[in-house]
Each structure stands twice: as structure tokens, then as C-alpha cells.
Homo-oligomer: A and B are copies of this chain.
């Protein structure tokens, strides 16, 4: 019974997703083996085809999260295009969308209507604030939910200007939660025989990622703020200056702290009563930083990283994107994959971080589709392939 096919082999996803959150979700599911058919607006397609940077006339932004997908352009207000769309749903396992709540209902494709006609269909809906509640329907972008959800209040330096997380975690975390929900719904369908609707809100996902900050704030009444590079519970766990560029060090227990002190030639810090336990180090974290930096500032980062590495103390340089991409470890893990694109040329995208024992690693990804590129093949298939919703 064993095979080496990826987990979602045989799963077909019809994808109405636009811009980032939902396209990221279906990109993740494509990595897991699903077939993803993008349904785009005729003429302009996905909004993000117009987002820079551009190369060879194509959007790199769009290209990144739309590899390994097919494209068909349909106007869901035109009867003949609706017929095609519905014929696609006859053969689909999953429908993904990130319109504002209410749009699918106005198109006649709200959950109740979809479920009545396609009872096995799983619907994944992603929105800024969710399908219900007083803010449902309000527009959102990544920075809106980073700001409302509390993450920006924890990021940056005390007293400093507001700081956004430099990746679109408002979109990406929501996309990942929706991919999780859809995967769970597929598993559930093997038991119940029925589809369900998964409703994921970007704001909810930001709140989920506050984890200990919520527990701590509610239990102690202390409202946490930004800590620069420091951890809210562990010390030392932050960036330190050296003679040249800063490095980060994390020592999450007393043994690692003693090893750190030894590795930088400051054994006396390990017996200093201010630094005797994680709690006391955390209470004297300014003193601790001053003492450690007094030594680290005498030699360059490379010296200290080698010493700490030899002692197995968790430490690292702060790498830029080009450095992260070219790490031998990232290469060994197939985490940066080439894409050969007719318009952009060769570029690179992240690989799949979910490694599965008996599923071979893919060496590259298929380039993003031109708008409507797969129309003829998709239409031909609708004639020949079986429906998967026998009650219809």
C-alpha cells in the first residue's frame, strides 16, 4: 500500500484567491501535492500581477506565490463563465477565496448554496476580520492586522518609532492557518463524507500568535511593550555589539549560561549572584548586557561566533536575505528552489519546509501561469473527467 506520492496528490483546488494571503495558502497546498487552478478576472487577473518589482514585464511579487498553479480567466457574473466555474466545482475538492465577506453570497456562491449543491466540497474563506462580528466586512491589509492585533506593539525598541514586522506575517500566518484548516477538513471528510467551510481571519491569526503575551497580560495585568531584540522571559537572549557587527546569543538555561561565560573568558559572571538564575539574569538584564558587551566589543563578530560555536552556545550573525538564501544548510534542505520563467528568467523561491520521509524532494518549481494560460486544457478536461459530487 505504500507509495511515494505527496499527501495531497489527487486533490483539486479551485482558487479564487487574490494578492497574498489566499494565494500563499494554495501555494503551500500545492507544495503538499494538490492541483491548484487559479480563477482570475478577465483582462487584469489577480491584482498582484500589477505589484512591483517587475522583470521582463512580469511581477516578481505575483510570481513568488503562484508557482505550480494553472490559470483560467472567468467573469463570475457572466452566465457562460458561471457554467464553466460550476463544472469545475463538480470536479473539485476545495474552493478557496479571499473576497470581502458577502461577495460570494452576492455571486450566488455563499456557503449554504455551495454546500447544498456540492456536499463534498470544502470551502476555505480568508478575510481580514472573518465572516461574522462587528468588523466583518471591513477592508484589511497586512499592516492593519499587525497594528490592531498587538504584534506591532511588541516589535521595535522601547520609546522608539512604530515598527512593522518585515515579512507580511499578517497574510502569511493566516494563509498557513487556512492551509491547516483545509487539510484537516480533507481528513474529516474521509470520516463524515461531507465538506465544511473553514473561515479564517487575519486578525484572529495575529491574536493567536500573541500566545504567552496574552496569558501573561491577563494573569499579571502587566501590558507588554517592545523589547528591541530581547526575549520577554529569558536572559541572555538578544543581540550584542562586538568590535564590528552585532551578533545574537540565546542561552535558555543555567548550563548554557555558564558555558557562554567560559567561552568568552568571563567565568566570574557565572558566579555573580546577579546572574545566578534565569530569573535573576532577567531582573539584571541591563547589567548583563553591559558586562557581556564589555568583552565582546574587544574582538570582531567572526571571532566570537567561532568561539561560541565551538562551545555549542546558540549564537548567530544577523544575516541579510542574500546570505540566508546562500547558506549551505538552506541548500542541503532544498529551501531555495529555482524557477525558469519565460518572462522573468531564472529566479528563486522558497522550498517546502515540510519534509516527508518517503516523498522525494522537488528540485524546482513550475513558473507562474500567464493569465488564462490553461483555459483550453481545463475546458477539455471538464468534458472527459468524472464528477466527484454524485448527489449533484
Contact = CB atoms under 8 A, between A and B. Distances in A.
A117 to B, nearest CB: 15
A300 interface: no
Interface in A163-184: 163-169, 172-174, 176-181, 183-184
A329 interface: yes
Query: How many subunits of this chain does the assembly comprise?
Result: 2
Interface string A176-199: 111111011111101111101111
- Chain A: interface secondary structure? mixed
Interface residues of A, number: 170
A55 B220 contact: yes
A200 interface: yes
Given A278-B51, A335-B204, A348-B215, A163 B229 contact: yes
B141 A215 contact: no
A344 interface: yes
A180 B28 contact: yes
A61 interface: yes
Q: Which of A2, A61, A256, A316 has the most CB atoms of chain B within a 10 A radius of its CB?
A: A316
Given A278-B52, A318-B153, A207 B335 contact: yes
Contacts of A279: 52
Given A192-B2, A354-B177, A333 B47 contact: no
B167 A318 contact: no
A332 B134 contact: yes
A387 to B, nearest CB: 19
B329 A203 contact: yes
A36 to B, nearest CB: 15
B148 A324 contact: yes
Nearest to A176: B176
What 4 pairs across the A-B complex have the smallest Cβ distances? Answer: A154-B166, A133-B332, A141-B250, A150-B324
Given A64-B212, A210-B321, 6 more contacts: A53-B216, A143-B231, A180-B180, A187-B187, A201-B353, A207-B325
